[in-house]
């Protein structure tokens, strides 16, 4: 039995059972796979007659790990958990919830956080819809938030969101649950057994109504995402250019990463992969590429995406002659 399964079994108790929430977006057809596996489950998105097959397939599902709590003939957690872990196959597609109030209470709670109130100021493409007013009617100030889907079944999403929540948001997130356990991708993971986050005893009671995220929370999430991305890029540099890092301190490497990130944003880079390539170029050129007028003008004057251009630039340097490479570096 793996360490993660041992950890999960130790968290499960009859008076505080453990449940799993699977992210349907990370499976080909989660409802079918759960049915074929004989799991006791319920979708967290309801089909209200739209007949949207994609919504049905990608919906998150709540799964009972101790099936005897729902069916007299169901499997025990010791039988169900290994089968579920085999279905997940290492994807960050599950979040485990401990809920003393039981499956029905957890199901109702999870349905209530499928959508959250999100600050409009954090949405770059948000446009306030125009309202048609009756003659003499005064417009009311628009709400500061709008409803968006919260992908709480995605372990990578939770790894970014949970540390940023304030006490009010955290209380609303947990609801009747006492803890969650999830195993995100390595750049977000705290250890081999994943992340265990407890509700805590000092939180205020959950606020009624939809869960609401503050602008400060979103800024904190962004900061955490950027920090994790820099660690990924640091690992990439260790892999592709270790000889350049041998005589550099951690502070000097961080300076290269931050400078490349700043200029990369200015020239329009978007993906983490592109930022990694650009940082690699900054490293091997002693950061000279970050202020090379011809290179920067090339990015700013081209109509093609900057991510595509940086890939071409790396290919050119990789295929350059020794004299050309010396000129670059």
Instruction: In whole angstroms, give the CA distance from residue 26 to residue 91.
Output: 8
Per-residue tokens: 158? 């939770």
The answer to whether residues 95 and 150 touch, using CB atoms and an 8 Å cutoff, is no
Per-residue tokens: 134? 């009756």
The pLDDT value recorded for residue 329 is: 47
Instruction: In whole angstroms, give the CA distance from residue 51 to residue 47.
Output: 7
Whether 140 has a pLDDT exceeding 70, the answer reads no
Whether 312 has a pLDDT exceeding 70, the answer reads yes
Same-domain check for residues 199 and 229: no
Tell me the pLDDT tens digit for each residue of 213-245: 999 999 999 888 888 889 889 999 999 999 999
The pLDDT value recorded for residue 98 is: 97
Instruction: In whole angstroms, give the CA distance from residue 165 to residue 125.
Output: 24
Whether 83 has a pLDDT exceeding 50, the answer reads yes
Per-residue tokens: 20? 């799993």
Same-domain check for residues 206 and 224: no
Whole-number average pLDDT of the chain: 88
Query: Which among 166, 193, 213 is the end of a domain?
Result: 213
Per-residue tokens: 12? 């499960």
Same-domain check for residues 67 and 51: yes
From the list 256, 325, 267, 261, the residue with the least C-alpha distance to 297 is: 267
Query: Is 77 within the bounds of a domain?
Result: yes
The pLDDT value recorded for residue 49 is: 58
Same-domain check for residues 40 and 179: yes
Tell me the pLDDT tens digit for each residue of 188-219: 765 556 889 999 888 999 999 999 999 999 99
Does residue 125 or residue 292 have the better pLDDT?
A: 292
Give the model's confidence band at 324: pLDDT under 50 very low, under 70 low, under 90 confident, else very high: low
The pLDDT value recorded for residue 317 is: 77
Query: Is 128 within the bounds of a domain?
Result: no
Mean pLDDT of 266-295: 92
Query: Which among 174, 197, 213 is the end of a domain?
Result: 213
Name the CA radius of gyration of the chain, rounded: 24
Query: Is 134 within the bounds of a domain?
Result: no
Same-domain check for residues 161 and 302: no
Instruction: In whole angstroms, give the CA distance from residue 76 to residue 66.
Output: 5
Instruction: Tell me which long-range contacts 146-149 makes (C-beta under 8 A, separation of at least 24).
Output: 146/117, 146/118, 146/120, 147/115, 147/116, 147/117, 147/118, 147/210, 148/115, 148/116, 148/118, 149/114, 149/115
Domain tally for the chain? 2
Buried b (16+ CB within 10 A) or exposed e, 177-211: bbbbbbbbeebbbeeebbbbbebeeeeeebeeeeb
**For the whole prediction, is pTM greater than 0.75?**
yes
Query: Is 131 within the bounds of a domain?
Result: no
Query: Is 135 within the bounds of a domain?
Result: no
Same-domain check for residues 296 and 209: no
Domain hosting residue 100, numbered range: 3-123+141-213
Give the model's confidence band at 103: pLDDT under 50 very low, under 70 low, under 90 confident, else very high: very high
Same-domain check for residues 156 and 43: yes
The answer to whether residues 155 and 95 touch, using CB atoms and an 8 Å cutoff, is yes
Q: What angle do CA 131, 137, 139 make, to 5 degrees?
A: 50
The pLDDT value recorded for residue 165 is: 95
Whether 61 has a pLDDT exceeding 80, the answer reads yes
Instruction: In whole angstroms, give the CA distance from residue 229 to residue 261.
Output: 10
Does residue 76 or residue 322 have the better pLDDT?
A: 76
Query: Which among 213, 243, 277 is the end of a domain?
Result: 213
Whether 176 has a pLDDT exceeding 90, the answer reads yes
Same-domain check for residues 191 and 233: no
């Amino acid at each position: 039995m793996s360490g993660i399964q041992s950890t999960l079994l130790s968290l499960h108790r009859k008076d505080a059972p453990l449940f799993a929430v699977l992210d349907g977006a990370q499976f080909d057809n989660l409802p079918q796979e759960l049915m074929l596996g004989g799991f006791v489950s319920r979708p967290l998105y309801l089909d209200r007659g739209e007949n949207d097959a994609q919504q049905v397939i990608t919906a998150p599902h709540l799964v009972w790990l101790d099936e005897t709590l729902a069916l007299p003939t169901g499997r025990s957690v010791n039988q169900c958990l290994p089968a579920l872990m085999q279905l997940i196959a290492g994807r960050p597609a599950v979040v485990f919830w401990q809920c003393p109030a039981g499956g029905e209470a957890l199901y109702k709670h999870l349905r209530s956080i499928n959508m959250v109130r999100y600050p409009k100021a954090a949405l770059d493409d948000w446009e306030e819809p125009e309202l048609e007013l009756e003659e003499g009617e005064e417009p009311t100030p628009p709400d500061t938030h709008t409803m968006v889907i919260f992908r709480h079944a995605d372990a990578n999403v939770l790894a970014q969101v949970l540390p940023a929540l304030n006490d009010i948001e955290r209380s609303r997130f947990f609801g009747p649950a006492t803890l969650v356990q999830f195993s995100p991708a390595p750049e977000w993971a705290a250890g081999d057994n994943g992340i265990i986050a407890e509700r805590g005893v000092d939180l205020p009671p959950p606020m009624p109504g939809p869960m609401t995220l503050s602008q400060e929370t979103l800024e904190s999430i962004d900061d955490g995402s950027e920090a994790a991305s820099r660690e990924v890029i640091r690992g990439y540099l260790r892999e592709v250019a270790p000889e350049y890092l041998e005589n550099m301190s951690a502070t000097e490497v961080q300076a290269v990463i931050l400078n490349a990130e700043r200029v990369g944003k200015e020239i329009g880079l978007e993906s983490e992969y592109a930022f990694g390539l650009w940082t690699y170029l900054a490293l091997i050129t002693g950061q000279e590429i970050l202020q090379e007028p011809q290179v920067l003008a090339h990015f700013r004057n081209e109509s093609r995406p900057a991510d595509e251009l940086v890939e071409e630039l790396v290919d050119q340097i990789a295929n350059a002659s020794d004299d050309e490479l010396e000129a670059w570096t």
